[in-house]
Amino acid sequence: MKLDRNECFAGQPIKRVRDWLRELRGDCARSAIVRHVGLEDPEPFLNELKSRQLLVDSAGWPNDDESFYALGPLAARFAAAKLLRPISRQKRTNCSRDC
């Protein structure tokens, strides 16, 4: 998955979102997400994560009123993405000749 390192994700730098997804394991309560991300109004951020299929609603614990989220189908690819600039073909061929 290619990510633009200058892109913002609901007002957050894409690198911060990627790093946060790397740390998330299993189901996570909404309050834990809000506490970890540290946003005053987390709704746009959570909605963006759900619209990009990075988070999905989870059943959570029985008899619990709090909403839970699980990693979505694209979360692993997003978390594994590198934010490096692409290396041009010319630079690659010059490097192999110099080595």
CA 43 – CA 22 distance, rounded (Å): 21
- What's this model's pTM, rounded to 2 decimal places? 0.70
Q: Which structural domain range is residue 90 located in?
A: 8-98
Whole-number mean pLDDT of the chain? 80
Task: Please check whether residue 1 lies inside any domain of the structure.
Answer: no
3-state secondary structure of 74: coil
Residue 83 lies in a domain: yes
How big is the chain by its Cα radius of gyration, in Å?
Answer: 18
For the segment 26-40, the average pLDDT, to the nearest whole number, is 79
Mean pLDDT within 33-61: 83
Domain-located, residue 3: no
Task: Report the pLDDT value the prediction gives residue 94, as an integer from 0 to 100.
Answer: 65
32, burial (CB in 10 Å: exposed 0-12, middle 13-18, buried 19+): middle
**Domain CATH code at residue 53:** 1.10.10
pLDDT on residue 98 = 53
Q: Is residue 52 part of a domain?
A: yes
Distance CA 25, CA 48 (A): 19
| pLDDT confidence bin for 51, thresholds 50/70/90 | very high
pLDDT at 5: 80
> What is the domain count for the chain?
1
Residue 96 pLDDT: 56
